[in-house]
Structure 1
Amino acid sequence: MSEGITPSAVLAQMEITKSLSDQARTELASHAKLVRVDQGKRLARRQIGNQRLFLVDGNVVRACNGLERELDSCLGLSDPVELFDETGSEDDTIVTQARCLLLGVPASLLPKAGGAITQVDELDLDDAEGGFLAKLYEQINSNRLELPARPEVALRIQSLTADPDVGVSELTELIQNDATLAGALIFATNSPRFRAAKEITSVRDAVVRLGFSNTRMLATNLALRQVFKAKHQVAREAIAEVWEDSVLRSAYCSLLSQKLQLLNPDRALLAGLLSSVGAVPIIQFFDQGGSATGERKELDDLLQKLLSVTGVLVINYWELGSDLVTVAEHGASWSYQAPEPDYACLNIVARWAALAHHGRPRPPAAEIPAFETLQLQIPGDDGALVELAGSEAALERLQSMFAS
């Protein structure tokens, strides 16, 4: 964790405080306090008094009303997570699972959290589709349908490798804590793409061989790819296509971020990979609901109409921040218009470029506000993005890192 982080810097990134004026945020920061807590420490709600407590970096287990849930936040990559919600009791506790960075803010000074609610009543759903969505919501709310597990290790690795003070030892230790990831990383390092003269047998040697950038991308691939899974043929084919499209979008998002020097290329890549994550619960619910032999058109119609709704559900459940919620919410909306460049704009242009890459139908680029927001030249008849001219090899390399 970075030693130079300040309450003001954290508040500037938090969804509920980033819209405050500089003066108001400075005043709030003067009353806030950052605290580092070692692993294995227990903290009860009653101990924090009239404070609201946020997890800025690290992971904890929260016990609330007899139920336990693991909470995680990655400094700079996700919105800080509030540790105790309003519906809990004084007996609620957290136990730190790693060294954590916490932010305490007087409750009386902090704005109330107001999450955006996706409107579903405007969707054009027939009775069967409406029933499907109602059942999906009901199962999620009753905890009978598990949303995809958040890819914690990949997010921690992204956070760790973004810190210039972190070395091979710290990254090796993190990867070794996940046996599946460690084995897959060593296997990938010995593949023809990365193979050295001597066989790699340890995580440390794999990290040294791959470098931080490749290690980060491979870890993200291995973690997220496990989310995109299904049992039966129709569902497996659909989810494989969604993953392939997400990979291509993520490559375009990352390259655009680098070439335009806008936003963070790693988060842009993550935005592309997660742009269609809402397909996962739809496909898995379709899979579990006895529709394994159902028509593919039925599933495609559900994906087209419900993708953004379920995408917002997943990103909010993973608590990855409002910027990625916006990506999921507007990923299929060509008309989305932002006041300034954001990850949703990058993803929309990446979606257009991916369609052009495969020669598929798409609206004229001149009619898509995201091109103007990002100040991109309008592509010619070949559909190639002018700003990415000469980046074909880089695009192919990024795609290959996430090949199934």
Structure 2
Amino acid sequence: MGDSQPAGIDIVAAIEALPPLPAVALRVMQVAQDPKASASDLALVVSADPGLSSRILRVVNSAAYRRMREITSVQQALVTLGFVQARNLAVSGAIAGAYAPDALHALFRIEVFWRHAIAVAFKAAEYAGQGRRVDVPSAFTAGIVHNMGRLALFYRDPALVDQAVARAMAEERTLEEVEAELGFDHAAAGELLARKWKLPEPICEAIGRHHEPLDSPHTLAGCVAMADRYVVGNGLLPGYVLPPAPGTQRIPSPDFAGLMKQVDALMELVTGEPAGVRAA
């Protein structure tokens, strides 16, 4: 075999390297996508995770939501937040909370990875609402998990991911192009991971196809693909920050600036800290 061919990375091994997603996160996703689910149903699931429960209670008792009396019930907290915001917070917190940032790796930043994922989730949900044929909660969930294959690769070989990011930045190429040369397809890995988690088929398909040139809001895969292109096109990359060229300044469009406010607000709710990394 010639040396010019990439050795390839075992996708199954990469998926196995990713710590298991907590059962409560899977259950939160299931309830969030159930059109018959209520705040009470979501509260029952959230209450099974002390960490997620405490974050939600901390949020609802913060200055932004302060009431005359302290809220101590998860169900009351979710009602106070409103079901849509509570659902988004529960899904994001349950998944992102399972994979904490790692400060040892300077180039691939998990905080930026999650900000990108949340931005895609919000935008995919927006597109789903426009098409009116795609389930909005499923679009949000698919957006959150669309790049989990890359996170699996990071857990398998963090130094390799940092090297790939360095090459992408130095050669002004996409991370996907560099991954392909390494013999890794994060979309395919993410789809396989979603099937392992037994996520609904449309979400699995959306994860596997999010880099295809789909441009229809009438399919879940199309919503996620369009959202991913939009977010990347506006400079919020999936796990790393590319500084602007010397002497230039990236000015976000008003609609993207509005999206970033949503992202930062949800990141603050998920982490309990102000978002420390901005799309530059």
Q: Name the counterpart of 1:152.
A: 26
Greater RCO (Cα-Cα under 8 Å, separation 6 or more):
2
CA distance in 2, matches of 1:296, 1:356: 17
Q: Name the counterpart of 1:320.
A: 199
Instruction: Say if 1:310 and 1:292 are closer, same or farther in 2 by CA, change over 3 A.
Output: closer
CA distance in 1, matches of 2:85, 2:198: 25
Q: Does 1:347 align with 2:224?
A: yes
Q: Name the counterpart of 2:278.
A: none
CA distance in 2, matches of 1:354, 1:292: 21
TM-score by length of 2: 0.70
Question: 1:172: Cα distance to partner?
Answer: 3.1
Q: Name the counterpart of 1:234.
A: 105
**1:248-397 → structure 2 map (5 Å cutoff):** 248-287=119-158, 296-297=165-166, 300=175, 301-302=178-179, 305-334=184-213, 336=214, 341-358=218-235, 396-397=261-262
Q: Name the counterpart of 1:163.
A: 36
Question: 1:310: Cα distance to partner?
Answer: 1.3
Question: 1:337: Cα distance to partner?
Answer: 7.2
For 1:350, give the aligned amino acid.
A
Instruction: Say if 1:148 and 1:196 are closer, same or farther in 2 by CA, change over 3 A.
Output: same
Instruction: Say if 1:232 and 1:310 are closer, same or farther in 2 by CA, change over 3 A.
Output: farther
SS in 2 for 1:281: helix
- Range with bigger deviation, 208-217 or 300-309: 300-309
Q: Which blocks of at least 5 consecutive residues in structure 1 are unaligned? A: 1-124, 361-381
Query: Which of residues 80, 84, 89 is equivalent to 1:209?
Result: 80
Instruction: Say if 1:156 and 1:193 are closer, same or farther in 2 by CA, change over 3 A.
Output: farther
TM-score by length of 1: 0.51
Aligned pairs, number: 242
For 2:26, give the aligned amino acid.
E
CA distance in 2, matches of 1:167, 1:296: 41
Question: What is the RMSD of the two structures over their aligned residues, measured on CA atoms?
Answer: 3.6
User: Over residues 284-309 of structure 1, what are the superposed CA-to-partner deviations in whole Å (9 max), with x where a residue is unaligned?
Assistant: 1113xx66985742694338852112
Identity of aligned residues (%): 15
Instruction: Say if 1:167 and 1:320 are closer, same or farther in 2 by CA, change over 3 A.
Output: closer
Going by fraction, where is strand more abundant, 1 or 2? Answer: 1
Query: Which of residues 45, 55, 67 is equivalent to 1:174?
Result: 45
User: Over residues 163-212 of structure 1, what are the superposed CA-to-partner deviations in whole Å (9 max), with x where a residue is unaligned?
Assistant: 16x463x4433322221221111012123333334332222331231122
Are the equivalent residues in 1 in contact too, given 2:115–2:263 (CA < 8 A)? no
Going by fraction, where is helix more abundant, 1 or 2? Answer: 2
Question: 1:345: Cα distance to partner?
Answer: 0.7
CA distance in 1, matches of 2:152, 2:65: 34
Bigger Rg, structure 1 or 2: 1
Instruction: Say if 1:174 and 1:333 are closer, same or farther in 2 by CA, change over 3 A.
Output: closer
User: Over residues 3-52 of structure 1, what are the superposed CA-to-partner deviations in whole Å (9 max), with x where a residue is unaligned?
Assistant: xxxxxxxxxxxxxxxxxxxxxxxxxxxxxxxxxxxxxxxxxxxxxxxxxx
Question: 1:126: Cα distance to partner?
Answer: 5.6
Question: 1:320: Cα distance to partner?
Answer: 0.9
CA distance in 1, matches of 2:103, 2:255: 40
For 1:163, give the aligned amino acid.
K
Instruction: Say if 1:315 and 1:171 are closer, same or farther in 2 by CA, change over 3 A.
Output: closer
User: Over residues 307-352 of structure 1, what are the superposed CA-to-partner deviations in whole Å (9 max), with x where a residue is unaligned?
Assistant: 1121122111111122122212221223x478x9311111121123
CA distance in 1, matches of 2:13, 2:116: 29
Q: Does 1:224 align with 2:89?
A: no
SS in 1 for 2:192: helix
